[in-house]
Structure 1
Amino acid sequence: MSSDSSPEQPQLEHDSTLRVDKSVSLTIGSDSLLIVDDRPRKSARGCCGLRKSEQTKLPRAISLYNILDVQAEPSNLTITYAESSSKEDVAVKTLHYSVSDKESPTVEGWANKLISASYGDVPRTRRLKILINPFGGQGKAQALYQKQAAPIFAAAGCKLDVQTTEHQGHAIEIAEKLDVNAYDAIVCCSGDGLPYEVFNGLGKRSNAREALAKLPVALLPCGSGNAMTWSCFGTGSVSVAALAVVKGLRTPLDLMSISQKGTRTLSFLSSSFGIVAESDLGTDNIRWMGAQRFTYGYLARVMSNRVWPCDLAIKVDIDDKEAIKQHYAEYTNREPDPMADLHRIEAAEKSPALPELKYGTVSDELPQDWQVVPGEKMGNFYAGNMAIVTKDANFFPASLPNDGFMDIITVDGTISRLTSLGMISEVATGAFFHRPEVSLRKATAFRLVPHQKEGYISIDGESIPFEAFQVEIHPGLGTVLSKSGNRYEVDGPM
């Protein structure tokens, strides 16, 4: 949209409204920019092929969240924003209005007010370390970044340091050596595998706790699952996720330590054993199918009606579904502490090393207050730290970014095929939560010992040795960017 060649002098009718033309007003609302344009416009050809003019009032609203930049130059006011370009994606658009030299200071003041309202406490021109995995998912990460994300970041004035990973584990090496004070976020163009590597790279540093508190990790969805993007941003679109990176809020994230035969790694997403692990890692050869490979793998294994026997012990904190729902409601309704993130960083600077294991390792004696869960007929063991594990798979609707708990699901493997199929169809709606066959616990640790000699254990979608492992949670150890700042992009347990 452009203004007439000879506009009226811009003026502020009140603090939030700018009139840039006799018939054009721009008003900053609580959550949107309202544009009222009453200028004459040419209509389509009328009778006998002649054109006619008509007065057309075209009010429109642009969400403040979508506004990327505002520039008040000596002769122009330019507003850059993200607008829907398809059902799922957004693209960069601009509005231009002419400004006289005399009125430039007035327009500049209004522009500063608009950009301040659009960003709030989120820093402008974020410094982003971009990591692109050219091998992940369907191998389209580079193209997706250039086409859908780069224009959003450029329009927002972000300062970019782009690097392509060259081999598995490369992101671990990069994150371990990165100057965490030089960036406002590290953004992975990949599936969930690259964030897993980044968290573990930060965790290998001598100042691991400090690095994990200071540097948020975000994901542009270029892989198969993209759980971090779905949970934190509520989208599978690279362009919408890029906008969320620009406008996202720093959010503390619980991380989990995985101990196994003298090794310790970090997890941000999930641990699975049984049908989910088999459906994930057992379908690695059909990654070309994208997220549908998980559904295919699940259906194939449901038909075999298998069990995966194990020994299982859990440090249970809440095991009643109604109590879990109450916990979720109380957590999401509480008033945020604006100083909490700063205090967390200060504490990490004073004690920068990775926290010690509260419950020891898988080789230590089992704590007496842990609940032993029968595992001879285990069909599915799934411990989650994010709500959505892939598109339409809201396995953990009660999961929260930093409530200090992981959500653990166990399902008997001897239930009927029909029941299993019915359960998986209810994951997207959240009705899965209430199924009587689904046992749900909020916990701070667990230990699982497989009985079989071969199989799959999945940690954040990555395979680890098929042997005993122990997991414990560390409240608020990591940091991500999210839309809300305190919850995932789901409705929560119904």
Structure 2
Amino acid sequence: MTFDKAKKVLEFVLLKPNGVSTKHKINVGFDEILCIRSTPIKLKKGLPTCIGKDDSSSDTPNAIFIYYTIRVNVYIWRIREAAVFFTTTTEKKQWEQILQNTLKELEYRPKNLLVFINPYGGKGLAKTIYENQVAPLFDLAGVQAKVLLTERANHCYEYMQELDPETWNSIDGIVSVGGDGLFNEVLCSTVIRAQVDSNKDITDIEIDSLTTPRMRFGIIGAGSANSIVSTVHGTDDCSTAAIHIAIGSKCAVDVATVHEGRKLLKVSANAISYGWLGDVLRDSEHYRCMGPIRYQWSALRTTALHPTYFGRVSFTLSNQPEQPLKFPECKKPCEICDGTKTDSHTYHWQTDFTHVICCVIPCVSPFTPYCLAPYTGLGDGSMDLAMVPKVSRCANFRILRKVAMYGGKGLIPLERDLHVYRVSRWTFTPGALILGENTVEPEKVQQGAWNLDGEILPQPSDKALHFRLHPRLINYFGRELDLDDPRYRRCFCCYKTEKKKSNIVINPIE
């Protein structure tokens, strides 16, 4: 074993019985090392099953055990053990002290976490998942976690707003064990608290910038969709997410705020949708007793009803194009086209919409495994705004089928029915506000519901909703995936990793 202190990298070389080096070696950076112990632990399928106290009185003579993380395929992370045996006890203690001190110098490793668990989300297994799959990893890494079981809606929000300053400043990260709804509540409460402490008005949509919360965010996917955690890690595997939290992985994520005039409604770090997707979520709330399959049932019901909503979408591009954009004509009457009203945004489109979808991140989920918005990123400073006008039921079914089977890239041939733009802010004005409540076309003033990170947000009939992006506002426990990497288009069984040769290295190399 050799240690490069400058690069903080350990190199393990497997030796023959006579001390001659073999070709089998592995480099392990301290970024991937979870812990260093004097006593071994039991691993089953790359995960700890029994963790005893690392007591020096019961340690293994002349040996240290290094537990490091490794990708077993494109997405899944697990733990491996390297047992290093020394010739003398003095040599062992010297190496152990050097390695332990180097590990403690990693300032980005979390030491204190606040964990919120929704025991009722998804299949109701969040508490069991945390105790069996997450807590042992935190114990192994020496992470202190304060656990709170949520008892009602907004419980997490109220707790964070009332948290005393001493505890607030001691937290390194906030972890939600549940679905996208719980994470959205954690996100809103933390971002709002950070702005209050820095005397910034988050309700002002024209504010120059918001304050980044000092703590990072993590999700253990125990809900029905788990879209955010799947987007960041490429999988909703709970152990993989826990490993990234324990080793302190970090990536910056864009966040969008939703405003109704001078009122802040929500903070979003996932997808905002109106029309078909919003109605599916609203309808599924009536069938919670069915579990996750309620989404498929509500999707069939909503497809049969085929709702469309009249309104106007106005938006500002994140980067101005070389040539002006061309839209189909707006449905009359359009005050902006007629010149009787001005708009703060550069572009607008007024029509009957089947879908209005804004993606802050690529949005991977069980329903969109190949990304709903594959061309956007976690922290690229833009949102993808997709608009689909009124189409037939068959055309809508084709769109949904292509998204489910091929992702957003499969919709490129549907240029006539799909309009996608990269925006920094946008506004939706409902039909009732455009035409008035007493219009002779009552179907034009029907209001749908928004699907905002898995939460229902009713569309007010007399107010426009405004959406603004705040680039890289939060930090997340994860490492952004390169979705253009060809490995992400292959199944797990086609991705071969280096075979494990041995977990024992003898006689450290000088």
- Is TM-score (shorter-chain normalized) higher than 0.5? yes
What residue is the counterpart of 2:189 in the other structure? Answer: 201
Q: Is the 8 A contact 1:221 1:238 kept in 2?
A: yes
User: Distance between the aligned counterparts of 1:429 and 1:368, measured in 2?
Assistant: 29
Aligned-partner Cα distance in 1 for 2:33–2:389: 49
Aligned residues: 411
Shift in Å, 1:422: 4.0
- Match status 1:375 vs 2:351: yes
Is contact 1:234–1:489 with CA below 8 Å preserved after alignment? Answer: no
Question: Which one of the candidate residues 408, 418, 423 is aligned to 1:438?
Answer: 418
Change (3 A) 1:431 1:110: farther
Output the CA distance in 1 between the equivalents of 2:221 and 2:70: 19
- Residue deviations 1:210-265, cap 9 Å, x none? 87431222111011122221122222111000011123444333322212265313
1:119-178 deviations in Å (ceiling 9; x for gaps): x96623532111111111111100011111111111111121111111110111122233
**Alignment partner for residue 471 of structure 1, among 466, 470, 485?**
466
* Alpha-carbon distance in 1 for matches of 2:191, 2:419: 32
Question: For residues 123 and 458 of structure 1, do their structure 2 counterparts lie closer, same or farther at Cα, with a shift above 3 Å needed?
Answer: same
Deviation string, structure 1 residues 316-367 (Cα, Å, up to 9, x no partner): 33487999xxxxxxxxxxxxxxxxxxxxxxxxxxxxxxxxxxxxxxxxx863
> Which residues of 2 match residues 28-47 of structure 1 at below 5 A?
34=12, 36=14, 38=16
Q: TM-score when scaled to structure 2?
A: 0.69
Of residues 256-265 and 167-176 in structure 1, the stretch that sits farther from structure 2 once superposed is: 256-265
Q: Report the counterpart of residue 62 of structure 2 in structure 1.
A: 75
| Counterpart for residue 148 of structure 1 | 133
Aligned 8 A contact 2:3 2:10 in 1: no
Shifted more, 166-175 versus 120-129: the winner is 120-129
**For residues 418 and 130 of structure 1, do their structure 2 counterparts lie closer, same or farther at Cα, with a shift above 3 Å needed?**
closer
1:396 alignment partner, SS class: coil
Q: Corresponding residue for 1:459?
A: 452
Moved more, 74-83 or 154-163: 74-83
1:70 counterpart letter in structure 2: I
2:107 is equivalent to residue 132 of structure 1: no
Q: CA deviation at 1:299?
A: 4.6
**More displaced stretch, 271-280 vs 143-152:** 271-280
Q: Please report how far the alpha carbon of residue 438 of structure 1 lies from its aligned counterpart in structure 2 after TM superposition.
A: 2.4
TM-score, scaled relative to structure 1 = 0.71
Partner of 1:256: 256
Determine if contact 1:313/1:372 at 8 Å carries over to the other structure: yes
Code of the residue aligned with 2:152 in structure 1: it is: H
The amino acid of 1:407's aligned partner reads: D
The change in CA–CA distance for 1:382 and 1:252 in structure 2 (over 3 A counts) is: same
Counterpart AA for 2:283: G
Residue 109 to residue 425, structure 1, CA distance change in 2 (3 Å): same
Superposition pairs for residues 60-459 of structure 1, below 5 Å?
61=26, 64=29, 66-71=32-37, 75-82=62-69, 94-99=81-86, 100-108=88-96, 111-112=99-100, 115=103, 123-178=108-163, 179-205=167-193, 206-207=196-197, 212-260=212-260, 263-265=263-265, 266-287=267-288, 293-318=294-319, 367-376=343-352, 378-391=353-366, 392=369, 394-415=371-392, 416-417=395-396, 419-428=398-407, 430-432=409-411, 435-436=414-415, 437-451=417-431, 452-459=445-452
Q: Say whether the 8 Å CA contact 2:372–2:403 is kept in structure 1.
A: no
Q: Give the secondary structure class of the aligned counterpart of 1:283.
A: helix
Structure 1, unaligned runs of 5 or more: 1-11, 18-27, 41-56, 324-364
What secondary structure sits across from 2:184 in the alignment?
helix
Query: Which amino acid in structure 2 is aligned with residue 411 of structure 1?
Result: V
Cα deviations by residue, 1:266-324 (Å, 9 ceiling, x for unpaired): 2222221011112233223445766655455445433444422222222233487999x
Look up the equivalent residue of 1:237 and give its one-letter code. Answer: D
Shift of 1:461: 1.6
Give the conservation status (yes or no) of the 8 Å contact 2:383–2:469: no
Residues 190, 219 of structure 1: 8 Å contact kept: yes
Shift, 1:414, TM fit: 0.9
Aligned runs of 1:11-22 on 2, under 5 Å?
Answer: 15=3
Q: CA deviation at 1:475?
A: 2.4
> How many Å separate the matches in 2 of 1:260 and 1:424?
31
Is the 8 Å Cα contact of residues 175 and 202 (structure 1) preserved in structure 2? yes
Equivalent-residue separation in structure 1 for 2:376 and 2:126 (angstroms)? 28
CA distance in structure 2 between the partners assigned to 1:465 and 1:79 by the alignment: 52
Aligned partners of 2:107, 2:467: CA distance in 1, in Å? Answer: 32
Aligned-partner Cα distance in 2 for 1:61–1:180: 40
2:44 aligns to what?
A: none
Name the Cα RMSD after superposition. Answer: 4.0
Q: For residues 114 and 214 of structure 1, do their structure 2 counterparts lie closer, same or farther at Cα, with a shift above 3 Å needed? A: closer
2:377 counterpart SS class: coil
Distance in 2 between the 1:80 and 1:418 partners?
49
Structure 1 residue 105, shift from structure 2 partner: 4.8
Q: Percent identity?
A: 18
Distance 1:440 1:199, change over 3 A: same
- The 1:262/1:84 distance shift into structure 2, 3 A limit, reads closer
* Structure with more contact order per residue of length (Cα contacts < 8 Å, sep ≥ 6): 2
Q: Which runs of 5+ in 2 are unaligned?
A: 39-55, 201-209, 325-340, 432-444, 490-510
Cα 1:136/1:177, change in 2 over 3 Å: same
Partner of 1:354: none
CA distance in 2, matches of 1:444, 1:366: 19
User: Residue type of the partner of 1:301?
Assistant: T
> Which amino acid is the alignment partner of residue 362 of structure 2?
A
C-alpha distance after superposition, 1:444-479 (max 9, x if no partner): 222213334343212222112222442332424631
Q: Supply the distance in 1 between the matched residues of 2:191 and 2:75 (Cα, whole angstroms).
A: 35
